[in-house]
Amino acid sequence: MIKKFLLITVFFAVGFNSYSQRIAKLKITDVEKYLSVNNGDILVINFWATFCKPCVAEIPSFIRTVDKYKGSQVKLLLVSLDLPSYYPAKIASFVKKNNFNTNIAWLEETNADYFCPKIDSSWSGSIPATLIVNTKTGYRKFFEGEMKDAEFEAMLKEVIAGSAEHSVIKDKPAPATK
């Protein structure tokens, strides 16, 4: 258990400094551990897939905006929800082709009813979905849907300055169940 935690910590420490295009394989428990480290970082975790046009459309602005706020200890992790057959080759090829120079991981989970509530209780499972956490204060913002540049930057600024309350934003209501 300690070995796995150390391995995850080393991956993120090295990954965030080198922007390696290596695609890590994570379980949702690994993501939870990453979120629980209180080191003062602002963590932006974006859930996406190669087949999701809105996901792919927002990633370049996320990368640019996070670069702009690096001095505020902002770190971006793109977590792919692609099918297992896409890991790692198809995801890595897509990332390279689109010049996504940031940290990328693939979530090795198939049960959205299990992993979605571990990120945010309001997450319906649709993508893109983004969680921003201030690890120093515990302040969290969750957004389900595509974000425009200004919207993402405003949310990021709020979390950088944020207090220890939890807030959720949804761009549209979840579909009704029959």
pLDDT at 177: 41
Find all residues with CB under 8 Å of 127, minimum gap 6, and list them.
47, 48, 49, 52, 54, 55, 81
Q: What is the structure's pLDDT at 38?
A: 87
For the segment 32-58, what is each residue's pLDDT rounded down to a tens digit? 999 999 899 999 999 999 999 999 999
Q: Is the pLDDT of residue 140 over 60?
A: yes
Q: What is the mean pLDDT of the chain?
A: 86
Residue 134 belongs to some domain of the structure = yes
- Residue 177 maps to a domain: no
12 inside domain:
no
Decide: residue 102, CB within 10 A, 0-12 exposed, 13-18 middle, 19+ buried.
Answer: buried
Any domain includes 4: no
How many domains does one find in the chain?
1
**How do residues 109-131 score in pLDDT, each as one tens digit?**
999 999 999 999 999 999 999 99
Determine how many CB atoms are found less than 10 A away from the CB of residue 88.
17
Assigned domain for 15 exists: no
Judge whether 80 lies within some domain. Answer: yes
In a domain, 11, yes or no: no
Whether 40 maps to a domain, the answer reads yes
pTM of the full structure: 0.82
* CATH code (residue 34): 3.40.30.10
Domain coverage including residue 128: 20-170
Residue 85 DSSP symbol: G
